[in-house]
Homo-oligomer: A and B are copies of this chain.
Amino acid sequence: MEKQYKIVLDTLGSDKGAVCMARGAALALEKFPELHLVIVGDEQLLRAELADADGSRITYVHGPDEITNYDNPAMAVFTKPNSSLVKALTTLADDPECVGMINAGSTGALLAGALRYLATPDMQRPALAAIVPAEAGGFVCLVDTGATVDCTPAQLVHFAHLGKAFMHDMYGIENARIGLLSNGKEEGKGNKLVKETYALLKADESLNFVGNLEGNNALSGDCDVLVADGFDGNQIIKCTEGTAKRLIKDIVKLSKKTGNESLMAVVAHLMKLYDFNSLGGGIVLGVRKPVIKAHGAANEQTVVGTAEMLLNLAKNKTII
């Protein structure tokens, strides 16, 4: 029998709810015969939803409490031990067969939980990376996008190593090109953090450092990994997404105003190109096992797409 990969799926916390996540689970199980899902949430509801799925590749974990917007994210994993998030994280931490996890709830709670249950021995803070389509094709791993602000230069170098390992495991990229987010291309451009980090990256012989990149150029494909302080990485992601959405809205308005329906095909095309949703909201790196933080707006296809990412990672894993 083909080797099986166990992935943990937290079904609570997303906008569309557990039933939608369960339906996504069913689709993922159909698509990937090597997938075994450990599905966490309201067990009774999930068993009912997945009655027709391949039960031999499902493990149910009962974690009925949901972490909501009213919970303090940093404290939620302490105050809600019966939450699906805590149950999912502890399962991932304790079961050696589990290779990764999908969650679509509170990012803050997830990061706090990842630090609590999945920290590496050196206790480095987890990083939240975004995988963004590059203009030239392929993808760019932007890290950090919000887990840590006020980073030190050493942390940014750590992000470079995490991103390099990820791009190898995910896409088979050898010796990923590392870019440093700055406000100008020339060496010496940037704020204090960037200048100090530049020197460290340049000196690190294990990294293929390509220099400073400005936000929009970096996402063109001039690098495979773009490192930045979490505050700045967060701006890039939100700004790129926000601008894309805004232009798409402008085209929809124009389509309605002019009655030109062919514009809606353009909208569909662009939404596919810029579909941040299907790639996952972000992936937690620098922890013992990868955790994908899907957008709160995750749908069935999100589960399929994120399961596929985790399967790829597990199959190609870098030993670091």
Contacts and interface: CB of A to CB of B under 8 A. Distances in A.
A281 B269 CA distance: 31
Interface in A224-266: 229-232, 234-236, 238-248, 250-251, 254, 260, 262-263, 266
Contact of A135 (B135, B181, B183, B246): B246
Contacts of A152: none
Nearest to A217: B242
Nearest to A148: B191
A245 B238 CA distance: 17
14 contacts: A149-B191, A183-B234, A194-B231, A215-B242, A216-B239, A235-B236, A239-B240, A240-B243, A244-B247, A247-B248, A250-B273, A254-B266, A262-B263, A263-B266
Copies in the complex: 2
A215 B220 CA distance: 20
- A interface majority secondary structure: helix
Given A240-B243, A266-B266, 9 more contacts: A135-B246, A149-B192, A150-B191, A183-B231, A183-B238, A191-B229, A216-B242, A219-B242, A220-B246
Given A254-B269, A266-B251, A243 B239 contact: yes
Given A235-B239, A243-B243, A266-B266, A183 B149 contact: yes
A181 B235 CA distance: 9
Interface of A: 135, 146, 149-150, 181, 183, 190-192, 194, 214-217, 219-220, 229-232, 234-236, 238-248, 250-251, 254, 260, 262-263, 266, 269-270, 273-274
